[in-house]
A and B are shown apart, each in its own frame.
Chain A
Amino acid sequence: FGLSLPAVAVLLVALLCLDPHCRVGSAPICAHGPSGCHIPSLADLFDRVIQHSARMHSLSNDLHSEFEQYFLPSKNHIGKIYRKCHTSNILTPNGKDNAQKLAREELTEVILKLLMAWRDPLFQLHQSMAHQQDFNSFSSNKALEMGDMAHELRKGVEKVAEKMRVLGMLGNSVTGLSAAEAMLPLSDSGEAMSDYELLYCFRRDSNKVQNYLKILKCRIVPEHDC
């Protein structure tokens, strides 16, 4: 151990010489009121959330392409293997008109439902990919990141909903999501879905989420991007 007694003494002296008033404390972020602090507006929140969802979708797209490229060379196979995604029970608008007909609250709820439904399956996916040697570590990391992003996105959308509720934009018809909503990725036949199927389904659902968020944003805070 390299530290000798003089070095220790020096350190002690240095510590003693520190300003006793300089203590680490936590200061409130916006102590001086709104002018001293930048509270993100609803538009900012929406932007952040949309960016998040875009990133998440891009990750799922990459993973799906890798899977398709390395493990399923023949495209014709794809169509025949599909089983129903576990989120197909959730009613989601499949067109612009349908989406625009939905109320904000419903749209928000759909988004939250989707994100909630994917919490466990994504974790499962990552686990499964990490254990298999077919995937390289890069893909496994992507799956992990994807799962984290879905989780954060859900939290973010919840915050947005909260903000909207505070602002009076949302009615109280949005019910809190219960744990019952969390689904297990089980297909009709009860078998666990394969990794590829999970990837395929999640790619689609992340696209839905991104699209719904954009609609919601342009409906609630129509600014320069809309």
Chain B
Amino acid sequence: TMRNSGAMLILTFIAILILQAAGVSPPGKPRLTSCRSPEKETFTCWWEPGGDGGLPTTYALYYHLENSETVYECPDYRTAGENSCFFNKNDTSLWVNYNITVVASNALGKNISDPVEVDVVYIVQPNTPEHVTAVVVHDEQGPFVRVSWEKPRTADTRSGWITLLYQLRVKQEKDKEWEEYNAGMQKYYNVFSLHPDKEYMVQVRCKPDHGFWSEWTQTTYVKMPDYITRERSLWIMITIFFVFIVVILTWTLNVKRNSVKLCLLPAVPGPKIKGFDKQLLKSGKSEEVFNTLVIQGFPPTTDYDNLLVEYLEVFDNEEQELVLDGKDLSEDCMKSKSPSDIDSGRGSCDSHTLLLEKCMDGREGSGSNQHQYSQHGETRWASTESSESQGPEPGSPDSANGRGKTWPVVFSSPQPQPHHHYPVGAAKPAYHSVPEILNHLSPHAMSSNYHQLNHQDILQQERRFSKPACRHSQSYNQFNLDGIDTSAPGVAPSPSLEYVEVQRVNPENMLLLRPLSDPNREPEGSDCTREDYSKVKEVTSNNILLLQRDMSHQCVDDYSQADQCTTQQPPHPCKPAVHQSNSGMPQEAIRVMGNGYVDSTVLMPSY
């Protein structure tokens, strides 16, 4: 009756409450986790229980095939383990959907899982490959590893029922990422490009053409041998070859460095500015260097109009030839062979014709010649054309034109030059007046190398010498070359040019000069004038200009008279006669020009 059913209901409800209070309940809902077939012939399904509800729970798996209502229970709960169901070959049908459910039941009730549709063909996951081996194979190109394995035992590939694809992976112990290789259906694989002397781990797995990948096999270890790759040895050889080539090139360049330098850096002509001190330029400031080039008092002002000292003509007494030292003849003759070619610091103005032209020009009042002499910082003792009647002078540097001869440089560079203009309309061109030289040189600082000619009273000496037949002048200017004498005693500088001849050298090592304007001068028509020129033998350290005596047969002693005046001096220098030279004259080396003139510039220190 209703009352009974109601009472039953209430009792059931109370019982459930009591049971729940006691902690027991019907089982939870189980869940099928996966079904797998290893070889497409059998399969297994696993489930997980949902909770037993505190009471012992049993599970049962039921299935039915598609389009069939017949429900079957799992044939094997044990083979595959706990909570599993194993379907053997007889129970497995391919290409048929299985509808599988799991029922959990305990004393209080049961619970059914959600159904799962399974087609065995699509749940194939094979077992892992077996017997994986990795062997090092030595090849001429280098060693490599050959990995080989076998199919999982259960898979029947032989009948074509199942087709397996293999995959392997390799890495070193320390690497993070595996290197994977697909081997297709073959059961071996060659792994190249492994590093020498390293240990590698190898694993293999497989998959059916439609299905799941198997698990990876256990790790197989393989160690690569230590070898030098062909590529590396090739690089080593290439490197050695190139080093060799580089060494050879370097050696060749080193040997030929001069010509290479010439090729790459063609020689640039250095500055040839006379009197330009390169050392000073390198070390000092630029102002110092350029200051040395500055010539004070250039261009000459009109104060110096009449003070151009150009030449000093030094005459020897009588026909005495200067003593020559034969020792240095050869080298001096070499030097003096072509006097016009000698560039011993005299410059372009030293050429005779040029000089003549300039002197000629200068005579006309232009001051253009002045700078010629100032350029080189020298005074030049040169005599341009003497009187027209003069023939080629004895020992003149250029007998051909017999015009000019240049005397060696006496003064060093850069010194201000006394400039003298030619007096306009002077009859005698280009003779210096010695006193003027002295006067203008004296206020300037002069080194010890300078020679100073002291003008002495000519008249005092006049009586000392007898006048030879060919001697022209009777009055002499005596020059004392010793030391630097800044005073010019007792001689008034003549404002105009005065020609001076050196008559002779007296025993006191003095040059005896004689102004050519001396009335005692003999007419210059004779050819003996050239015999009046004396050759400077040398310059001693005491600033003594040593004149040379010509000791040819025409040579006579100082005080002796020449028997005859020869028109020409012998072209060859005289045999040196030591005893005839004045005592005290050092017999040092003379550089003599071939025509008998001494090139004392060579004796002087170069600047």
Which residues of A157-176 have CB atoms within 8 Å of chain B's CB atoms?
A: none
The smallest C-beta distance from B67 to any residue of chain A, in angstroms, reads: 6
Q: Is the CB of B161 within 8 A of A215?
A: yes
Stretch at the interface among A29-37, A90-98, A132-140: A90-98
- Taken residue by residue from 64 to 100, chain B's Cβ proximity to chain A (1 for < 8 Å, 0 otherwise) reads as 0011000000000000000000000100111111010
Q: Is the CB of B159 within 8 A of A219?
A: yes
Residue A61 at the B interface, CB < 8 A? yes
Residue B401 at the A interface, CB < 8 A? no
Residue B588 at the A interface, CB < 8 A? no
Stretch at the interface among A1-9, A145-153, A190-198, A204-212: A204-212
Identify which of B115, B121, B159 contacts A100 (C-beta below 8 A).
Answer: B159
Residue of B with least CB distance to A100:
B159
Majority secondary structure of chain B interface residues (helix, strand, loop or mixed): loop
The smallest C-beta distance from A135 to any residue of chain B, in angstroms, reads: 24
Identify which of B41, B93, B117, B158 contacts A78 (C-beta below 8 A).
Answer: B117
Q: Is the CB of B92 within 8 A of A95?
A: yes
- On chain B, the residues within 8 Å of A211 by CB distance are 161
Query: With A207-B121, A207-B210 known to touch, is A76 a contact of B159 (CB < 8 Å)?
Result: no
Residue B485 at the A interface, CB < 8 A? no
- On chain A, the residues within 8 Å of B92 by CB distance are 95
Q: Is the CB of B97 within 8 A of A94?
A: no
The smallest C-beta distance from B467 to any residue of chain A, in angstroms, reads: 121
Q: Is the CB of B117 within 8 A of A96?
A: no
Residue A142 at the B interface, CB < 8 A? no
The smallest C-beta distance from A221 to any residue of chain B, in angstroms, reads: 10
> How many A residues have CB within 8 A of the partner chain?
30
Max chain A Cβ within 10 angstroms of own Cβ: one of B97, B156, B163: B163
- Taken residue by residue from 198 to 226, chain A's Cβ proximity to chain B (1 for < 8 Å, 0 otherwise) reads as 00000010011001001111110010011
Q: Is the CB of B95 within 8 A of A204?
A: yes
Max chain A Cβ within 10 angstroms of own Cβ: one of B41, B96, B157, B161: B161
- On chain A, the residues within 8 Å of B41 by CB distance are 95-96
Alpha-carbon separation in the docked complex, A14 to B209 (Å): 57
- On chain A, the residues within 8 Å of B114 by CB distance are 76
Majority secondary structure of chain A interface residues (helix, strand, loop or mixed): helix
Q: Is the CB of B160 within 8 A of A217?
A: yes
Identify which of B40, B163, B209, B210 contacts A96 (C-beta below 8 A).
Answer: B40
Q: Is the CB of A226 within 8 A of B95?
A: no
Q: Is the CB of A79 within 8 A of B99?
A: yes
Q: Is the CB of A218 within 8 A of B160?
A: yes
Alpha-carbon separation in the docked complex, A57 to B41 (Å): 21
> How many B residues have CB within 8 A of the partner chain?
27
- On chain B, the residues within 8 Å of A82 by CB distance are 66-67, 97
- On chain A, the residues within 8 Å of B158 by CB distance are 218, 222, 226
The smallest C-beta distance from A62 to any residue of chain B, in angstroms, reads: 12
The smallest C-beta distance from A211 to any residue of chain B, in angstroms, reads: 7
- On chain B, the residues within 8 Å of A222 by CB distance are 158
- On chain A, the residues within 8 Å of B209 by CB distance are 54
Q: Is the CB of A214 within 8 A of B121?
A: no
Identify which of A54, A96, A208 contacts B156 (C-beta below 8 A).
Answer: A96
The smallest C-beta distance from B167 to any residue of chain A, in angstroms, reads: 18
Residue B201 at the A interface, CB < 8 A? no
Alpha-carbon separation in the docked complex, A75 to B117 (Å): 9
Residue B185 at the A interface, CB < 8 A? yes
- On chain A, the residues within 8 Å of B117 by CB distance are 75, 78-79
Q: Is the CB of B159 within 8 A of A226?
A: yes
- On chain B, the residues within 8 Å of A214 by CB distance are 160-161, 163
Q: Is the CB of B157 within 8 A of A95?
A: no
Q: Is the CB of A226 within 8 A of B160?
A: yes
Alpha-carbon separation in the docked complex, A123 to B590 (Å): 131
Alpha-carbon separation in the docked complex, A222 to B161 (Å): 13
The smallest C-beta distance from B37 to any residue of chain A, in angstroms, reads: 12
Q: Is the CB of A208 within 8 A of B95?
A: yes
- On chain B, the residues within 8 Å of A75 by CB distance are 117
Alpha-carbon separation in the docked complex, A97 to B93 (Å): 11
- On chain A, the residues within 8 Å of B96 by CB distance are 94
Alpha-carbon separation in the docked complex, A57 to B96 (Å): 17
The smallest C-beta distance from B63 to any residue of chain A, in angstroms, reads: 12
Alpha-carbon separation in the docked complex, A82 to B328 (Å): 136
Identify which of B67, B95, B161, B163 contacts A207 (C-beta below 8 A).
Answer: B95
Alpha-carbon separation in the docked complex, A218 to B117 (Å): 32
Residue of A with least CB distance to B99:
A79
Alpha-carbon separation in the docked complex, A225 to B184 (Å): 11
Residue of B with least CB distance to A92:
B95
- On chain B, the residues within 8 Å of A226 by CB distance are 157-160
Alpha-carbon separation in the docked complex, A79 to B101 (Å): 13
Alpha-carbon separation in the docked complex, A215 to B163 (Å): 11
Which residues of B113-167 have CB atoms within 8 Å of chain A's CB atoms?
A: 114-115, 117, 119, 121, 156-161, 163
The smallest C-beta distance from A112 to any residue of chain B, in angstroms, reads: 18
Alpha-carbon separation in the docked complex, A51 to B392 (Å): 125
Alpha-carbon separation in the docked complex, A79 to B158 (Å): 34
Q: Is the CB of B93 within 8 A of A225?
A: no
Which residues of A46-105 have CB atoms within 8 Å of chain B's CB atoms?
A: 54, 57, 61, 75-76, 78-79, 82, 84, 88, 92, 94-97, 99-100
The smallest C-beta distance from B368 to any residue of chain A, in angstroms, reads: 87
Q: Is the CB of A215 within 8 A of B121?
A: no
The smallest C-beta distance from A104 to any residue of chain B, in angstroms, reads: 13
Alpha-carbon separation in the docked complex, A216 to B114 (Å): 39
Alpha-carbon separation in the docked complex, A99 to B67 (Å): 22
Q: Is the CB of A95 within 8 A of B159?
A: no
- On chain A, the residues within 8 Å of B94 by CB distance are 94-95
The smallest C-beta distance from A179 to any residue of chain B, in angstroms, reads: 26
Alpha-carbon separation in the docked complex, A167 to B97 (Å): 39
The smallest C-beta distance from A155 to any residue of chain B, in angstroms, reads: 22
- On chain B, the residues within 8 Å of A88 by CB distance are 67
The smallest C-beta distance from B520 to any residue of chain A, in angstroms, reads: 119
The smallest C-beta distance from A191 to any residue of chain B, in angstroms, reads: 16
- On chain A, the residues within 8 Å of B89 by CB distance are 95, 97
Query: With A79-B97, A94-B93, A208-B95 known to touch, is A84 a contact of B161 (CB < 8 Å)?
Result: no
Q: Is the CB of A218 within 8 A of B159?
A: yes
Alpha-carbon separation in the docked complex, A61 to B185 (Å): 22
Interchain residue pairs with CB less than 8 A apart (14): A61-B210, A76-B115, A79-B97, A84-B67, A92-B95, A94-B93, A94-B96, A95-B94, A100-B159, A211-B161, A217-B160, A225-B160, A225-B163, A225-B185
Besides A54-B209, A79-B99, A225-B185, 20 other CB < 8 A contacts? A76-B114, A76-B115, A78-B117, A82-B66, A82-B97, A94-B94, A94-B95, A94-B96, A95-B89, A95-B94, A204-B95, A207-B95, A211-B161, A214-B161, A214-B163, A217-B160, A218-B158, A225-B163, A226-B157, A226-B158
Q: List 5 tightest A-B contacts by C-beta distance, closest first.
A: A218-B160, A214-B160, A79-B117, A94-B93, A96-B161
